[in-house]
Structure formats: C-alpha cells, structure tokens
C-alpha cells in the first residue's frame, strides 16, 4: 500500500480528489494575497487553490514526514515536473529501503535496487487521480470549519496558514501552510481531536519552478537496469456493483471515488474501493480468504494512518479478507467496512 513518504506526499496531491471550484482572481505571477493573515475564503476556494498549484508549477526539494507519537521520521527527494499536459514525478527515498518511484499521470514505476526489481503499475485514469470528483465533494464544508491563520515561512517561502477543523469524530483536522504566491502547499499537519499533531509533512528544501528536463526524466523512468526483474501489476477500473457488492450507509460525508480490481494471474486478485470526504480518504481491499496467507487479524496505526485487517463472512457464506486503511480514526474504518455488503444470489465470488 505504499511507503510512508510516498503515501503521505499529500502536500501536492491532497486536493486531487477535489474538482475545480471557483478561485479568487489570479494576478500575473500568482495569487494576490493581502499583507495581513490568511484570507477568509471558503473551503472550496482553498482546496481548489491547493489542487491547481501542482498542476501549474514544477518544483524539487526534500520532503520530510514525521510522526511525533512514534518518533518516526522519513525523507524523500522529490522532483515534480509540469510538462505540456503531463505531470511527471521522481520520488527517491532517502531513508529506509532504497527505492525510486516515477510517476507520469496515472502510470507509476518503482525501482528497488536492493531486490533488483522494477515494478510497473497503472494507478487510474489520466487527467487526475480522481477525475471529475469535484462536484461530488462540494458538501465537504459541511464536515469541516475553515479557520484562517497568520503568516509563516517554510523552506524559505512566505506562507499563509489555514486550519480545517472537523465537525464530528469521523475525520481528523488539518493545518496547512500554503505558499503566498502560488498556493502550493508546503507543510501539512494532521491534528487529533485534542488538537495535537499526529503527523507532519513538509518541505525542508524547495526550488520552485526550476528548469527541469522532462524528457530526461521520462527516459530514466523507462530504463530498466541490467539484471533487474520487471513486474507488472495490472488493475482494471470497475464498480462495487459490477463485482457483486453494494455500498450502504457510509460514514457521514464519505462518498465512493473509484474502484478497481487486480486480476488473479500469478498473484492473488483483489478488489480495492476508495472513499473520500473531499479531504480524507479510505481504501478497502477485499480478497477471498486464504487460511494459508491470512492469519493475523487486528488494528494498527502509524501517525495518521490507521489500518484494520479482519475476516468476514458474506450473505452467501463466502469468507473474505478485508484490509481497510486510511488517514482517519478507527471508527471510520469500521464504518466503511460495515458499509460494504455482498449482494445476495449466485454470482461468482470475485475477485
């Protein structure tokens, strides 16, 4: 399900689950903010700005994720290029296992030097991780309260601070530092119900709109080092109903975003469905229960990310192994799991 830093590279991707909303007037060279604190904008305006910035600006820098409650820190070197209609990224892990991930829109390639493996994946349709999801989340402001803050300075850039405070217990809160000129999010804190910092992500070094050769980055993405094994993960976009599932009574504010399955070839097949409230997201992975592989049920957490692993039996007496993961409280994971119901009948058990 991805390493901590890649998954938490939320600063430039947090609002990709959101569609375009009306933006304030943008002057040549960037958004014009006042000299005082952050503007008193709506949630839709703020998140649209966060979404727009990484689609218009290239950058590179060092990105750090820290989790105070577990004394964990990871870092990556990020190169993000906007080239014509493409968004291209190179994410090199600087801590932990050696790993370099390349992304071109929905295509991802990860190189594991220690294992000598290159893994190719298709992440979804082009045009954004969740194209057209914006209209679906216009009601997100019903579940958060926007609290504009003051000014700050991150990685040498002037920023404004804004809080998104949850109005119920289904979600965490967020504090965002946004670049004054571009709106690019430079720092993010995920906040618990008591306001404490659960997880923090930020750039410690950043170059904004540097000259980066996209062709060279794409060539690097396509290169397979001698002696490396190539692994391809194939996933097809689908719907819960198309796979024999219904979704009923999700936690308040959460809506289906996308769903896809991996066909069982040499690997075991699974179905993944993603839900979001416009800020937080939850994924549920469903696969047929296999007692040889699926042994340990339970719950775990690391920073803001909580994971629930459990076995369940559907109405057709078929056993399933469910993994629910998201940057939400555990009660939300259980709510998503409960919302997934197997359709009755004689449909073949999939995936």
Give the CA dihedral 28, 22, 46, 19, nearest 10 degrees.
-110
For 67, the token pair is 């989790």
Report the 10 Å Cβ neighbour count for 285. Answer: 17
**List of residues 6+ apart from 130 with CB closer than 8 A:** 16, 17, 124, 257, 258, 274, 276
For 227, the token pair is 């002696």
Note the residue count of the chain: 351
Q: Which of 71, 45, 328, 78 is nearest to 176 (CA)?
A: 45
Domain 234-342 CATH (choose: 3.30.70.520, 3.40.350.10, 3.30.200.100, 3.40.50.970): 3.30.200.100
Whether pTM > 0.85 for this model: the answer is no
pLDDT of amino acid 293:
87
For 36, the token pair is 């005082």
Domain parsing of the chain, residue ranges: 4-222, 234-342
Pairwise CA distance, residues 44 & 111, whole Å = 37
Burial of 345 (0-12, 13-18, 19+ CB in 10 A): exposed
- CATH class of the region 4-222: mainly beta
Residue 214 CA: distances (Å) to CA of 58, 180, 202: 10, 26, 24
Average confidence (pLDDT) per 10 residues, the chain, 351 residues: 43 33 35 61 86 93 90 92 93 95 92 96 49 50 90 95 95 95 95 93 96 94 95 85 92 91 67 91 92 88 93 86 95 96 66 54
Put the strands of the sheet holding 235-237 in their side by side order: 235-237, 255-262, 270-276, 281-288, 319-326, 305-313, 298-302
Long-range CB contact pairs, 114-120, < 8 A, 24+: 116/225, 116/227, 116/228, 116/229, 117/228, 117/229, 117/230, 117/231, 118/224, 118/225, 118/228, 118/229, 118/230, 118/231, 119/230, 119/231, 119/232, 119/233, 120/230, 120/231, 120/232, 120/233
For 278, the token pair is 């416009």
pLDDT of amino acid 22:
30
pLDDT of amino acid 233:
80
Say whether 233 sits in a helix, a strand or coil.
strand
């Amino acid at each position: 399900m991805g390493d901590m830093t890649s998954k938490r590279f939320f600063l430039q991707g947090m609002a990709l689950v959101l569609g375009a909303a009306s933006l304030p007037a943008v002057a040549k060279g960037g958004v014009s903010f006042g000299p005082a604190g952050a503007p008193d904008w709506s949630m839709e305006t703020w998140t649209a700005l966060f979404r727009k910035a990484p689609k218009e600006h290239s950058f590179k820098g060092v990105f750090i994720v820290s989790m105070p409650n577990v004394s964990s820190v990871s870092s990556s070197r990020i190169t993000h290029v906007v080239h014509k209609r493409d968004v291209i990224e190179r994410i090199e892990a600087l801590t932990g296992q050696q790993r370099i991930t390349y992304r071109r829109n929905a295509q991802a390639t990860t190189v594991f030097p220690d294992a000598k493996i290159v893994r190719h994946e298709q992440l979804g349709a082009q045009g954004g991780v969740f194209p057209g999801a914006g209209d679906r989340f216009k009601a997100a402001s019903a579940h958060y309260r926007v609290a504009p803050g003051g000014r700050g300075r991150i990685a040498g850039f002037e920023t404004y601070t804004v809080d998104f405070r949850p109005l119920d217990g289904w979600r965490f809160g967020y504090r965002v530092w946004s670049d004054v000129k571009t709106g690019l999010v430079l720092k993010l804190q995920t906040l618990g119900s008591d306001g404490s910092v659960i997880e923090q992500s930020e750039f410690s070094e950043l170059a904004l709109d540097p000259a980066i050769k996209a062709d060279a980055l794409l060539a690097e993405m396509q290169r397979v080092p001698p002696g490396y094994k190539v692994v391809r993960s194939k996933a097809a976009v689908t719907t819960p109903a198309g796979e024999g599932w219904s979704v009923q009574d999700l936690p308040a504010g959460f809506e289906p975003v996308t769903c896809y399955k991996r066909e069982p070839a040499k690997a075991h097949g699974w179905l993944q469905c993603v839900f979001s409230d416009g800020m937080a997201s939850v994924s549920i992975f469903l696969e047929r229960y296999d007692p040889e592989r699926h042994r340990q049920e339970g719950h775990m957490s690391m920073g803001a990310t909580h994971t629930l692993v459990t076995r369940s039996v559907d109405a057709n007496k078929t056993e399933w192994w469910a993994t629910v993961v998201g940057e939400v409280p555990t009660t939300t994971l259980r709510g998503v799991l409960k919302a997934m119901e197997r359709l009755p009948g004689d449909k073949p058990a999939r995936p």
